Amino acid sequence: MNTGFTEPAKKHLGQNFLHEKGVIEKIVQAIDPRPGDVLVEIGPGQGALTFPLLKKHGELTAIEFDRDLHAPLQAAAREHGTLHLIEGDVLGVDFTALAAQRGDSRGQIRLVGNLPYNLSSPILFHALDHAAAIRDMHFMLQKEVVERMAAGPGSKVYGRLSVMLQAYCSVTPLFVVPPGAFRPAPKVDSAVVRLLPKPAECIEVRDRAVFANVVRAAFGQRRKTLRNALNGVADAAAIEAAGLRADARAEQVEVAGFVRLANLLLGA
């Protein structure tokens, strides 16, 4: 069958196309689209998730950077439902504006995607900037990244990504996907994760920029004590006033501890 998708996968765009039916079905089930939901897919590629979602839900917005895929995607989508294709870089898409324009009755969108792995952190941070406009997110990522996202203090992989995401979202790893589910097969295992942004009244961070700065500095030199790593950002007195030990390392501090310290710096 000629699908119209003739281009070979482009490595620099993180193109590993899903082909395993069972995995695709599991992802669609995890998303479980309901009437009234507004789905936005990042990186539809050759439509592995797009078309089953369209079939089930009837309508979908998708953001794809690769211009060689735009026409075949539009053509192949027609028999499944209504595809609104945004042709460009997801990092340039204002999700808040998109949700205001096309969102559900609460002005929110649901983000989904098998993400280009080379851009996963920038995409996650971009989504965080628009968390109030996003009801939930279901992403396929490298398994190792999902482990970092969900890790807690004391874990070797607990770091900036864990703290930043968990301050604003609940993070639930769902299932692991082996390399053979993709063409071409990546070298690593993948995993699907669900992110649920917290309602505004449950977010304790008072200033996002100050919080981000504290977390970046603390983990910038993760083997150092907080006193040294936070030099120029917070002194030992502030660290201790936030209930933390100045000789602790960032990887031992729970999310709430970073939030207390950032909030305290604001009041100083």
Instruction: Give the residues lining the site for ligand SAM (CB under 6 A).
Output: 13-18, 42-46, 48-49, 63-66, 89-91, 114, 116, 119
By beta-carbon proximity to ligand SAM, the closer residue of 91 and 266 is 91
By beta-carbon proximity to ligand SAM, the closer residue of 12 and 223 is 12
Position with the least CB separation from ligand SAM: 43
By beta-carbon proximity to ligand SAM, the closer residue of 113 and 159 is 113
Closest separation in Å from C-beta 231 to ligand SAM: 36
By beta-carbon proximity to ligand SAM, the closer residue of 65 and 168 is 65
Closest separation in Å from C-beta 190 to ligand SAM: 9
Closest separation in Å from C-beta 216 to ligand SAM: 23
Closest separation in Å from C-beta 59 to ligand SAM: 17
Closest separation in Å from C-beta 267 to ligand SAM: 39
By beta-carbon proximity to ligand SAM, the closer residue of 139 and 158 is 139
Closest separation in Å from C-beta 34 to ligand SAM: 21
Start-to-end CA distance of the chain, whole Å, equals: 66
By beta-carbon proximity to ligand SAM, the closer residue of 68 and 207 is 68
| Residue owning tokens 């609104």 | 84
Q: Cα torsion at 84, 88, 89, 90 (round to 10°)? A: -10
CA dist 224 and 152 (Å) reads 18
